[in-house]
Structure 1
Amino acid sequence: MNSPDDPASLAELLDRLRTETEGTAHVSVGNVLNAVGERSFGPVALVAGVITLAPLIGDIPGVPTLLGLLVLLTLGQLIFQRHSIWIPAKLACRNIERKKLVKGLDWMEKPARFLDCWTKHRMPWLVTGPGQYIMATLCVLVAAAMPLMEIVPFSANGGGLALTAFGLAIIARDGLLALLAVVSTGATAWLILTNLPW
């Protein structure tokens, strides 16, 4: 579920999103998948988490749900080991202004470099082999809850944080970060369940 072409760090992923989307006024979901590699689990989860967390982007109504749908479609198919990923044309064509995307990526630059300094190979059994499929399943559960997160204030940030941590853990082979992602997922689930309006 990972590829040798995967970005090796969060900062590298942000750079790749900038450079691969140059020369266009709007960036589509299809452009993002092409930039990060649609056959890789880590980068797909990571980019969905980063965009959800980024100011000016993740706060736009519907964006967390859209990203959750992207994660569900791609990771769901990767879990079942499909050789090619199918994305509905309507979803692939959904887009945002590149200017907003770049502003959000710029805001993430310092936190990304800080996180990259702290990630390393730890407890790799949690993020490789069967452990990687468990992480993918947890990401799918987070993604499925994204529509609810748009109802409960600040919970989408928790979901974005969990997806970012899961994706980065897979890329960096950092099992400790994967455990922190599991904690973030649990905290977000608690926030949603205790604050639903019904």
Structure 2
Amino acid sequence: MAEEEHPKALSDVLDHLESAAHGDSVTVEEVVQKLGHKSFAALMLIFSLISTSPASAIPGITATVAVIVFILVVQMILGRKCVWLPQFITRRHMSTKKLCKGISWLRKPVQFVERFLKERLTFLLHRPWLYLPLVLILALTLFMPFMEVVPTSGSIASAVIALFAAGLLMRDGALVVLSFVVLAALPVAVWYFGFSG
């Protein structure tokens, strides 16, 4: 049930995304082709990171990421081996300039975080333990399109998904647990950053 491929460094995923960036824009399909149709966790990670980074300034990106992650999670729960995305998603274009800016912004925090990641608590990455975080992430994606009206809230939600996806990719169950903790605190964070002051 966990990611089928061998763990990759998180920065490698950014490298693959950067290599897909060419011309004025890049499509979701090109990103999927670069990362591979079996890379559920890598795709979940990269799209959630895009929504966390300055690339989230791309109009509608939070809602698009929510739809992509929703579809990926449903397929993971159903045990699919290859990623399928509808054409209205795969044909969506993202600005190469904004995407590359987001990748550059993500480099340092990603390199910092991956130094602390390692294989541990791997039983949490298999059935039935994996069902709970998947269902919670699924529920989170349903609210994300509405979070675009609350400043930074979509980025916070995307960061939670990125933590979970990184835990899957690096086979680090402790990071999956951390994503639980952050998810539990998410309503408070959204309220504080969105409505305080």
Q: TM-score, normalised by structure 2?
A: 0.87
Equivalences for residues 104-115 of structure 1 within 5 A: 104-115=102-113
User: How far apart in 1 are the matches of 2:121 and 2:76?
Assistant: 23
Superposition deviation, residue 49 in structure 1? 1.5
Q: Give the length in aligned residue pairs.
A: 193
Answer whether contact 2:58 2:95 (CA < 8 A) is retained: no
Root-mean-square deviation (Å)? 2.1
1:44 and 1:139, CA in 2 relative to 1: closer, same or farther beyond 3 A? farther
What's the counterpart of residue 71 of structure 1? 69
Answer whether contact 2:21 2:100 (CA < 8 A) is retained: no
Superposition deviation, residue 116 in structure 1? 0.6
Answer whether contact 2:48 2:159 (CA < 8 A) is retained: yes
What secondary structure does 1:39 align onto? coil
Identity of aligned residues (%): 28
User: How far apart in 2 are the matches of 1:134 and 1:40?
Assistant: 20
What secondary structure does 1:122 align onto? coil
Superposition deviation, residue 7 in structure 1? 5.6
Q: Which amino acid aligns with 1:127?
A: L
What's the counterpart of residue 48 of structure 1? 47
Q: 1:158 aligns with which of 156, 159, 180?
A: 156
Answer whether contact 2:14 2:103 (CA < 8 A) is retained: yes
- Unaligned 5+ runs, structure 1: none
- Unaligned 5+ runs, structure 2: none
What's the counterpart of residue 141 of structure 1? 139
Superposition deviation, residue 3 in structure 1? 2.4
What's the counterpart of residue 29 of structure 2? 30
User: How far apart in 1 are the matches of 2:127 and 2:110?
Assistant: 26
**Residues 156-185 of structure 1, C-alpha deviations (whole Å, 9 max, x = no match):** 121111011001001111111111111121
Q: TM-score, normalised by structure 1?
A: 0.87
Answer whether contact 2:58 2:94 (CA < 8 A) is retained: no
Q: Which amino acid aligns with 1:76?
A: V
Superposition deviation, residue 75 in structure 1? 1.8
Answer whether contact 2:40 2:83 (CA < 8 A) is retained: no
1:173 and 1:7, CA in 2 relative to 1: closer, same or farther beyond 3 A? closer
